[in-house]
Amino acid sequence: MRKITFLMLFAFVTFVSNAQISRYIKVAATGAGTGTSWADAAGTADIQAQIDAVATDANQGTVYFAAGTYLIAAQIQLKNNVQLMGGYAADGSGTRDLLNNSTILDGQFNKRILFTGDASPYVAFTKITKVDGFVLQRGSSSYGSAAAISIGTVLENCIIRNNNGSTYGAAIFIKRHATISSPTVGWNQGAALVNCLVVNNSSSSYSAAIFVNQDTHFSLANCVIANNKSTDAINGVGGLYWGQNVRYSRISNSIFNNNIAPTSTKNNIVFQSTSEVQLAIFNNYFSDAAYVDADITSANGNKNATDIASPGFAATTSFEGYDATKMTEIAAADWRLSSNSGLIGLGSTISGRADVPYPYVISTFGGVARAFTTVTTDVQGSSRIINTTVEMGAYEYNPVVVTTASANINQGTVSANVTVSKGSAATVTATPVSGYKFSKWNDGTTDISTSASYSFVPTANVTLTATFEQDLGTSVEQQKAENFVKICAKNIVVAGQGNVFIYNNVGKLVAQELISNTMVKTVDAGIYIVKLNTIKGVKVQKVIVY
């Protein structure tokens, strides 16, 4: 019995010693502000302190962020094996929801947002260190305004937008590492971007979106690099600049669209290396009219504007680069593929390239295995493969059908059914016929809108039914003089021949009758509209019952 008790105690102590710790962040601290729970979450000012606290633990762990906008006072230094996870509700309740819980790290245009340190040679992380589920915006620096990262760092499910840089990589700078300048085996160590948007960033020198330094390695998978702008007339690249001696790297299932540079051949992507080894550039889309580098070929499943004129995004920005005055438009842009996109289904299947692991790999370094063999969700948390293939870009095409119906087609019609990708906005319209007006949309259980043109973001298939009601018109005052209605105590007396409709002051029909002479209706005190349809026309009168 003692032996069993000792073994159980030993196992418990071993389990506890290997347990990773967690810390919790909200925009404003709550409770004791220690960061040890959602109830006692630390605030924006303590982000770095919480990361450092996790880093000093023997097993590291994760810092969780609630939804909201964090105005960063100083750049945040990432630490080895300390994971940052956004996408939780503002109060920390419920499960992670990348679609609805936007978690924003905002550099306020005066600082870089994330970096892995400035030591030289740059420190390589020995374990995968992920930043997952964030918007990185309004960073400003000489390089890597949103993030300057190195070996072992993975940005996943991130939106990197509206950052401004003066030199290398206005959005992302991937650092070199002196000790691995000439790798010889495997898909090697490097930084990675997976399921990321890199949009509307600007640089006055070199690359507006991503700059990969020489003598390093990286992976880029399932990303959208779009509407970035460089103004450098000599070295400017709109999208991706790839330095020399960059080996064992890969770009797959990504979309490079409408990135701008002074030299048109440098709009989307440029390589400087002359000794590439095992470069994998496959199943991507480039909005250039022709491939501008020998490493990009149609044989590897790449497409360009000659093959498909446009990616078919749901809604892009009307401008390239960053603009401090247009954050609303940048935030409203929708980089999902629309239902008519020619790119749907053109991504790479898991078995599509046996020589290139799917969708990205960071192999061994320092004896620690770091391999990712699959990604099961997209940037908003939807299943990554819904049909038979992964899509190009950060969003899996996830069709949601909005079926429209009219409660009475004799009273009004509705627009056609709409199909959008999950997370995109859908708009339905209802048009009443003469004599009727639109009343409301109902989703089968709830009245959801009284607007005839209704826009919303569906998360599942839904049927919306429009109802209409008779339009009493604007001629009440004109018809008053006829006085075909009289009030006797609590009785409404109608004289005439035809169909009588009596409505209360909120438009509810309280009586209807076909009369040939007189109708008497007893009602409660209130205001009523009486409408008489005759063979000679329509009479309307407002009455007050005391």
Edge-first strand listing for the sheet containing 164-168 = 140-143, 164-168, 202-203, 229-230
Q: CA 228, CA 222: separation in Å to the nearest integer?
A: 17
Per-residue DSSP letters for 329-393? HHHH-EEEEPTT-TTTT-S--TTS-TTS-SS-----BTTB--------B-TTS-BS-SSSSPPSS
Q: What is the CA radius of gyration of the chain?
A: 31
Query: What's residue 508's pLDDT?
Result: 85
For 230, the token pair is 């460089």
pLDDT at 372: 47
Specify the residue for token string 């702008």: 229
**What's residue 204's pLDDT?**
93
Select from 458, 464, 420 the least CA-distant residue to 444: 464
| Residue of 285, 314, 306, 134 lying closest to 223 (CA atoms) | 285
DSSP assigned state of 282: E
pLDDT score at 242: 83
Q: Select from 290, 293, 291, 255 the least CA-distant residue to 273.
A: 293
pLDDT of residue 401: 96
Contact of 270 with 236, CB cutoff 8 Å: no
Query: Is it true that the peptide bond before 121 is cis, omega within 30 degrees of 0?
Result: yes
Amino acid symbol at 43: G
pLDDT tens for the chain, 546 residues: list them.
Answer: 444 554 444 444 444 456 889 999 999 999 999 999 999 999 999 999 999 999 999 889 999 999 999 999 999 999 988 999 999 999 999 999 999 999 999 999 999 999 998 665 456 677 778 999 999 999 999 989 999 998 788 899 999 999 999 888 889 999 876 555 444 443 345 788 999 999 999 999 999 999 988 777 788 889 999 999 999 999 899 999 987 777 667 788 899 999 999 988 889 988 765 555 556 788 899 999 888 777 788 888 899 999 999 999 999 999 999 999 999 999 999 999 999 999 998 887 544 444 444 334 444 444 443 444 567 889 999 888 887 788 899 999 999 999 999 999 989 999 999 999 989 999 999 999 877 899 999 999 999 999 999 999 998 999 999 999 877 654 434 444 467 898 888 899 999 899 999 998 878 889 999 999 999 999 998 888 899 988 888 888 888 888
- What do you get for the CA distance between the two ends of the chain, in Å? 90
In order of 241, 242, 288, 487, 523, the CA distances from 546 in angstroms are: 80, 83, 76, 9, 10
pLDDT of residue 368: 43
Which residue shows structure tokens 């990675």?
Answer: 192
| DSSP label at residue 42 | B
Architecture of the domain defined by 476-545: Sandwich (2.60)
Q: pTM for the complete prediction?
A: 0.80
Cα(236)–Cα(213) distance, integer angstroms = 15
User: Which tokens sit at 22?
Assistant: 């967690």
The secondary structure of 253-287 as a DSSP string is S-EEES-B-SSGGGSSEEE--SS--S-EEES-EE-
Cα dihedral sign, 24-26-31-34: positive
CA distance 440 to 437: 10
Task: Give the integer Cα–Cα distance in Å for 159 and 84.
Answer: 14
Q: In terms of residues, how long is the chain? A: 546
Using DSSP, state whether 397 is helix, strand or coil.
coil
Encoded tokens for 26: 């909200």
Greatest distance between any 2 Cα atoms in the chain: 104
* Contact yes or no for 170/225 (Cβ under 8 A): no
Helix, strand, coil in percent for the chain, rounding step 5: 10, 40, 55
Residue 165 structure tokens = 């840089």
Per-residue pLDDT at 546: 81
CA distance 39 to 24: 9
As given in the structure block, the two tokens for residue 179 are: 């000790």
